[in-house]
Structure 1
Amino acid sequence: MTSTAAFTAPQRKALRGHPIATLIAVSLGLFMVGLDATVVSIANPAIAASLGTSFTQLQWITHAYLLGLAVCLIVGGTLGDRFGRRRVYIVAVIAFAVTSVAIGLVGSAAGVIAFRALQGVSAALLMPQTLSILRATFPREKFGMAVGIWGGVSSVAIAAGPIVGGALVATLGWESIFFINAPIAVITVIVTALVVRESTAGSSTVRFDVPGVILLAIGLAGVVLAIVQSEDWGWGDARTLLVLGGALVVLAVFVLVELRSAHPLLPMSLFREPGFSIGGLAVGANFFALLGVTFFLSLFLMNLRGVEGVVAGIMLLPLSAVSIIASPIGAVLVSRLGTRVTMTVGLALVAVSLVALTPIGVDTPYIAMAIPFVALALGVGLTMTAGADAVVGSAPVHLAGVAGGFQATMLQLGGALGTAVFASVVGAGSARGAADLDLTAALTDELAQGIVPAGLGGEATAVAQDAFLSGLHSAMLVGAGVTAVVAVLAAVLLRTARRHTAQQVVVETVEGSVGSH
C-alpha cells in the first residue's frame, strides 16, 4: 500500500505543469470556442425558423456575442494576470458551457441574444488565458512551436465548424450546436485541473482602468446598436442619430480619460506609431468584410438556393479551410517582403474576391463561388498576419499585451460592424427591389434573409430573388470599397518596418488574435 502511494504521488506531481499536457488542456478550450465561431452561421436559418426571429433579432444573435467578446477581451487578460490564469480559465470554460446550454434551452429570441452576450464574455475571459498559460509553461525556445500548434488547433476547429454545424442542425436541431460544448467543457475542466500549473503576473503589476472599461463598453455597444437598429428605425430617424451621436461622444470621453489615466486601458501614445493605427484599421476592415459576407452567404445558400445545412457547410469549407495555410503563408511573406507589401496585397485580395462574388445568383455554378472563397480566405490570412506584425510589433515590449488586446478588440468590433452594415445594405436593397410587390413588413423582413415569400407567381418570385441579390451585391461592393480604401492607406502610410522572422510573426498573430497580456 505504501509503495503504491509513493509511486503515484510523484507521477501526479510530474504531470502538473507538463508542457505537452498543458498544451492539450488549453487546446481543448480553444477548440470549443473556435468551433462555436463558425457553427452558428450555418444554424442561423434554423434558429430564425424555430424562434420566429425578426431580421434585427437574427443579427443580434451574432452581434451580442461579438460585443461581449470585444468589450471584455482586454480586461479578460488582466483578470488572469491578477487572480491566476488557470483559475480564470476553468471559470471561463464552465461559464461558456453553462451559457451554451442556456442558449439551447431558453426558447426565445430575447433569451438567446442575452445568453449569447454572456457566452461572448465567457470567451473573452477564456481566450487570453490560453496563450498566457502556454507562455508561463513553455521555455522561450519552444514557445514558438507551442504557438504554431495553438494556431493549427484553432484553424482546424474553425474549418470543421460549418460541416459539424450543418450535420448537427440537420440531425439533432440547432440547439445541439450549443449543447455539444458541455461535454467538451467537462473534459477540459478535468484535464486542466489535473495538469495545468497556476501562474500570475503579481498583483502589484496589474491595474484596472474601470472608467475606461465602462466607457469603452458603452461606446462600442452604442455604435453597433445604432447601426443594427437603423434597419428598423432608418438612418435619418432621431433615435438612430441620438444613439450614434451619444456613442461617439462617449468614445470621445473615453479618449480624454485615457489621456489622463495613470494606468490606461489603451495608452493613446501607441497611436503615434503608424503601424499600430493602420494595423488596427486593417484588422478591423478585414473582419468587417469576412464576417459580413459569411453571415449572408449562409442565408444565400440555405434560404435562397435551398441548400441543406451539411451541403452548405461543405460549400463554405474553402472560406475556413484555407485559413489553415493562409496564416503561415502570411508569416513567411511578412518575414521576406515586410508588413506594408503583405498587408496591401492581403486587403487587395479581399476586395477583389468580394467584387468577384457580386455576380452570384440562384443558378451560379459552384466553381464561380469557390474560387473567390479561396481568394478571400487567403487575403484574410495575409492581412491578419501583417496586421499582427504591425500592431504587436510596433508596441513596446511592456505594452505588448495591451497591443494584443487592441488588435483583438478591433477584430471583433470590425466583425460586428461588418455584419450590421451588410445587413443594413441588404435590407435596404431588398426592400427597394421588392417595392412593387406590395409585401407586408414581415415578408419584407424575411426577404432580407433570402426567404422568398410563398405563393408569388413566377415573375414575382424572380423579382423577389433579384431584390435580395441586388442588396447582397451592393453589400459586397461596400465591403470591397472599405478594404480597398484601407489597402491604399497601408500602401501610402506604412513605413517599411523591420522584418521579423516567420516564427516571430506567428507568435505576434496569436498574441493579437487573443488579446494576450
Structure 2
Amino acid sequence: MASTPVDHSAPAPGTAASPQSTLERLRANPWLALIAVSFGLLMVQLDGSVVAIANPAIGKDLGASTAELQWVTNSYLIALAASMILGGKLGDRFGRRFYYLVGIGGFVVTSVAIGLVGSIEGVIVFRALQGVAGGILMPNTLGILRAVFPPKRFPLAVGIWGMVSAVSTSLGPIVGGLLVEHVDWESVFFLNLPIGIVALAFSAVVLAESKNSTGHHRFDIPGVVLLAAGMVALVFGIIKGETWGWTSAGTLGSIALGLALLVVFGWYETRREHPLLPMRLFRNRSLTTGAVMTLLNFFVMLGGIFFIMLYLQNVRGYTPVEAGVSTLPMSIASLFASPIGSQLTARFGARVTIPLGLTLSAAAMFSMLTWTVDSSYATMWPPFVAMGLGVGIVLPATAAAIIGNAPVEDGGVASGLQSTMLQIGGALGTSVLVTVIAGRVGSTLFGELTAAGVPTDTAHGLQQAEDAVTMGIAPVAGDMPAQLRAAVVEGSGQAFVNGLHSAVTVTGVLCVLGAVAAVIGIKSRAEEARNTSARSADAPEPAVAVAAH
C-alpha cells in the first residue's frame, strides 16, 4: 500500500527531539488513536441512552405533548441514520481526522444549544442537527482505526471499540438518572461539553490524517440526496409503525417510498465512476451478511433494553437509577465480551463468533420466559449476563466482517454502513417489539383483569387503557377502592408480562435464525485466506494517503 512516508528516525546524539518529530511519534501510535476515537464514541453512545431518561423531565418542563416528546428522540435517530454513510464518505475522500473533529465540534455545540434553547421546538431542531453531527463523527471512528491498525491488530481494536460502545450505552440510564434527579435535564446535554473539549484537544494532537488518493472528481451529490431521502422515509416509517399501525397507509407508504428510493439509489450508484456507496462492496458475501447481523444485533440490544426498562421501572417499581444499577451485570459482561469477541474473531473468524454471540442472546431471551410480575432479582441477572455477552461478542465480529472485508480506501463508507445498520436495527427493535407487546396485551388484558378479581364491566372499561398497559403502567385512579386497585395492578402487570414473553420469544427465534444465516452467509477462514491471496495476486491495493499533520 502506497503512503506518504513519515520520518520516525531518532534525533542526532546530543540534540533534543524537535516538536515535529515528537508529534510524528504520537501520531504513529495506533493505540493513542484508539483512545482518541473512544472519547467521541463515548459521547455519542452515552447521549443516546441518557436522553431516554431525560425525556419525561423535558416534557414536563417545556410543556411538550407526547408527539413532540417522541420527536426529541425520532429527529435525532432519523438524522443520524440518514447521514452516517455520507459522513464516512466525506472522511474517506477529504480526511477522516478532519471530519471526526468536525463531528465532535458539531455535537458539542448542538448539545449546549439544546440545553439553552428553552423551547420544545428548539430542542427538536437541535436534536436533528446533533444527529447529523453524530452521523459525521461515528463512521470516522472505525474509518480511522481501519487506516492506522494493521490487519492482525484490527479485530482487537474493534473489540475495544465495541466495549466502549456497549458500556457507554449501558451506563446511560445510571448517569441520566443521577443527573435528572439531582441536577436538571439540561445537565444531560451539558455533560457533552467537557467530554467534547477533552476529545477535541487530545484528538487534534494524536490523530494522523488519512484519506483516499483518488485524485480530483466530482462529489456524488445526487447519491447523497437519494440516500438521505430514502433513509429518512424508511426510518420514519419504522418509527411510526408502532403508533400508526404497521398496516396503515401512512406506515406502508413511508416504508415503500424509502425502499423505492434506496433501490433507485443502488441503481444510480452502479453507474457512477466514484459513487457515494460502492455497490461492489455487496459482492462480498461476508460483508453483506455482516451488515444484516449488525442490524439483528442492535434489534436485540436496543429492543431488549427498551422492554427490560419498562418491566423494571413500571411493573417492578424501580427508579431509573435502580433500574440502571440492576442492569450492571449486562454492562460488565459487555465490558469483557467485546475484547473476547475480537480475539475469537481473529482466531476463528466471524463465521464462528457471530453464531456464538447470537446463541447466547437467544438463551438470554428464552430465559426471560420465566419472568413474572414479582420475579426475584435472582431470575433477572443471568439473562442480563447472557445478553451482555452475546451482544458484546457479536459487535466486534460484525464490524470485522463489514470493515475488515472492505478495501482500506472504503473504510469510512463501510463504517458508515455498519453504523447505519445499527440505527435501523435499534429503531426496528423498539418499534416492532412494542407492537408485539401491544398485540399480546390487547388480546389478554380483559382476561387477566377478570382473573385478578376486577368486575367484568370495569374490566371492559379498562381495556381502553391498553396503550398504558403496553408501557407497563397500571390504569389505576386515585378514587379506586384499595382491593380493586390491587386487582387492576395485578391484572395489568400480568398482561404486560404476557406481552414481554411474546417479545422475547420473537427475539429469541430471530437470534436462532440469525445464527444459522451467519454460518451459511459468512466465509470460513480458509475461504477468506484463499480470496485474499487471489486479490493480492490480481491487483495492487489502492493507495491511501496518511499524513502526520
**TM-score, scaled to structure 1:** 0.83
Task: Report the equivalent of 1:376.
Answer: 387
Q: Measure how far apart 1:177 and its partner are.
A: 1.5
User: Is the CA contact (8 Å cut-off) linking 2:115 and 2:189 kept in structure 1?
Assistant: yes
Q: CA 1:120 to 1:319, structure 2 compared with 1: closer, same or farther past 3 Å?
A: farther
AA paired with 2:497? L
> Are 2:234 and 1:223 aligned?
yes
User: Is the CA contact (8 Å cut-off) linking 1:77 and 1:129 kept in structure 2?
Assistant: yes
CA–CA distance in structure 1, aligned partners of residues 415 and 279 of structure 2: 15
Q: CA 1:386 to 1:22, structure 2 compared with 1: closer, same or farther past 3 Å?
A: closer
Q: CA 1:220 to 1:439, structure 2 compared with 1: closer, same or farther past 3 Å?
A: farther
**Which segment drifts farther, 233-242 or 320-329?**
233-242
User: Is the CA contact (8 Å cut-off) linking 2:162 and 2:392 kept in structure 1?
Assistant: no
Which runs of 5 or more structure 2 residues have no equivalent in the other structure? 1-14, 447-458, 530-545
CA–CA distance in structure 1, aligned partners of residues 86 and 417 of structure 2: 11
Where do residues 47-446 of structure 1 align in structure 2 (5 Å cutoff)?
47=58, 60-106=71-117, 111-132=122-143, 153-154=164-165, 156-193=167-204, 196=207, 200-201=211-212, 204=215, 208-434=219-445, 436-439=459-462, 443-446=465-468
User: Is the CA contact (8 Å cut-off) linking 2:159 and 2:396 kept in structure 1?
Assistant: no
Output one character per residue of 1:32-83: Cα deviation in whole Å (capped at 9) or x when no partner: 2232243234445545565676666555544433332222122212323444
User: Is the CA contact (8 Å cut-off) linking 1:16 and 1:196 kept in structure 2?
Assistant: no
Of 5, 14, 18, the residue aligned with 2:26 is 18
CA–CA distance in structure 1, aligned partners of residues 230 and 495 of structure 2: 34
CA–CA distance in structure 2, aligned partners of residues 445 and 494 of structure 1: 41
Q: Measure how far apart 1:285 and its partner are.
A: 0.6
CA–CA distance in structure 2, aligned partners of residues 495 and 41 of structure 1: 38
> Are 2:533 and 1:495 aligned?
no
**Which segment drifts farther, 250-259 or 229-238?**
229-238
CA–CA distance in structure 2, aligned partners of residues 339 and 190 of structure 1: 35
AA paired with 2:509? G
Of 469, 475, 491, the residue aligned with 1:447 is 469
User: Is the CA contact (8 Å cut-off) linking 2:33 and 2:145 kept in structure 1?
Assistant: yes
RMSD: 3.5
Q: CA 1:192 to 1:472, structure 2 compared with 1: closer, same or farther past 3 Å?
A: same
**TM-score, scaled to structure 2:** 0.79
Which runs of 5 or more structure 1 residues have no equivalent in the other structure? 1-6, 502-516
> Are 2:485 and 1:462 aligned?
no
AA paired with 2:506? V
Q: CA 1:486 to 1:60, structure 2 compared with 1: closer, same or farther past 3 Å?
A: farther
Of 469, 478, 486, the residue aligned with 2:506 is 478
User: Is the CA contact (8 Å cut-off) linking 1:334 and 1:499 kept in structure 2?
Assistant: no
AA paired with 1:454? V
Q: Measure how far apart 1:341 and its partner are.
A: 2.4
Output one character per residue of 1:141-163: Cα deviation in whole Å (capped at 9) or x when no partner: 98788767655554554454332
Task: Report the equivalent of 2:537.
Answer: none
Q: CA 1:208 to 1:471, structure 2 compared with 1: closer, same or farther past 3 Å?
A: farther
Q: Measure how far apart 1:491 and its partner are.
A: 2.6
Q: CA 1:431 to 1:141, structure 2 compared with 1: closer, same or farther past 3 Å?
A: closer
User: Is the CA contact (8 Å cut-off) linking 1:100 and 1:119 kept in structure 2?
Assistant: yes
Provide the identity percentage: 46
Of 10, 29, 32, the residue aligned with 2:43 is 32
Output one character per residue of 1:455-481: Cα deviation in whole Å (capped at 9) or x when no partner: 252222222222333323322222223
Q: Measure how far apart 1:138 and its partner are.
A: 7.5
User: Is the CA contact (8 Å cut-off) linking 2:291 and 2:417 kept in structure 1?
Assistant: yes
SS in 1 for 2:270: helix
SS in 2 for 1:357: helix
User: Is the CA contact (8 Å cut-off) linking 1:323 and 1:378 kept in structure 2?
Assistant: yes
CA–CA distance in structure 1, aligned partners of residues 151 and 406 of structure 2: 20
CA–CA distance in structure 1, aligned partners of residues 349 and 511 of structure 2: 19
Q: Measure how far apart 1:308 and its partner are.
A: 1.7
Q: CA 1:287 to 1:148, structure 2 compared with 1: closer, same or farther past 3 Å?
A: closer
